[in-house]
Amino acid sequence: MQNNFDAVRLGLALIVVLCHLAVLTELPAFQPFLTYLSADFAVKGFFVLSGCLVTQSFLRSSSVLEYAEKRVRRVYPAYLTTILVAWLIGLAATRLSAIEFLRSKEAYKYIAANATFLNFLQPTLPGVFVQHPVPVMNASLWTIKVELCLYCCVPILVFLFRRLGAYTAVAICFVLALGWEWGLGQVAGLSPKMVAELSRQFPGMLHLFALGALFGVEERRLGQYLGWVVLAAAPLFWLLHEHSLRVVIEPICYASVVLFLSKRLRFQLRAGKWGDLSYGVYLLHFPIIQLLLHMGLFRGNPWLALALLLLTVLAAAFLLWHGVEKPWLKRNSHYVAAEIVR
């Protein structure tokens, strides 16, 4: 069936790349990216699309065990490879000697903590990028542990859809997600920055995921109305962007936009011709930006460096897909099947 999931996901990943580039380099030339693009929208859009696609994957699975295996195969090999690539970049870029780096406990704590999704325990490597505005190796990885928590919710979500009704279940998810953010704001001693940081963690994105899951289950009924939802939600979001109702309108607006672009366009963008590169772009771009910044490539012509960055990230994502991601997928995976059709 015609869709633009590959194109939309790749577009969202590239938005994250450009926004992170502006933050990491602090170059005036790139600051307009933060004005006209939104990494927040891109990441939340990913959670919506994930909810849709992963719920459909669960419904196609013969058992919860098969579903879990498919999720592990899709997520973990590329994730672990990314951690090891970042570690090797750190070894090459560290201020320490190779012997000092290899003898450092932090170097191995980085692998252990990140491989178990505890990125906050060791986000840096010894002597690596210490002069950068943001010295961490890969600040994008926080979303993966949230994704895994949401994957675990899918069987419960589907059960609630069937038992209580899909819309009631989604309303419960809104209450849980927004209640989590509100509750954090009531905790004494938590700074606004810490509240914002923790509110992104599970279950803070549950309502976005649930909206995607709702569409995944009710696509035949809801698909024809997506355009109208976009037309209604977008102006409401603009009008209420400083109102307390934004927390309800924003997820609906974001979800309707990314789902409309993914499923209701009358033409297909063949972004997946060379493979499903969005996950690799998202995983690998941060350490690649840090490495190019370390090498001083942004000091001369920043736009030429940007072109080099995009080529490098896309090439790395291509290699990750064909060398790691695709070989780990089952032959009956819809990712592999879609590539065969192309």
In this structure, is the dihedral angle defined by the CA atoms of residues 106, 108, 111 and 112, taken in order, positive or negative?
negative
User: How many of the other CB atoms lie within 10 Å of CB of 265?
Assistant: 14
**pTM score, two decimals?**
0.93
Q: How many structural domains does the chain have? A: 1
| CA–CA distance, 265 with 4 (Å, rounded to integer) | 8
Residue-level pLDDT at 239: 82
Q: Yes or no: say if 154 and 213 are a contact pair by the CB < 8 Å rule.
A: yes
What range does the domain containing 219 cover?
A: 5-341
Reading the chain (342 residues) residue by residue, the pLDDT tens digits are: 679 999 999 999 999 999 999 999 999 999 999 999 999 999 999 999 999 999 999 999 999 999 999 999 999 999 999 999 999 999 999 999 999 999 999 999 999 999 999 999 999 999 999 999 999 999 999 999 999 999 999 999 999 999 999 999 999 999 999 999 999 989 988 888 899 899 999 999 999 999 999 999 998 888 888 888 888 888 888 887 778 888 999 999 999 999 999 998 888 888 888 899 999 999 999 999 999 999 999 998 999 999 999 999 999 999 999 999 999 997 766 555 555 444
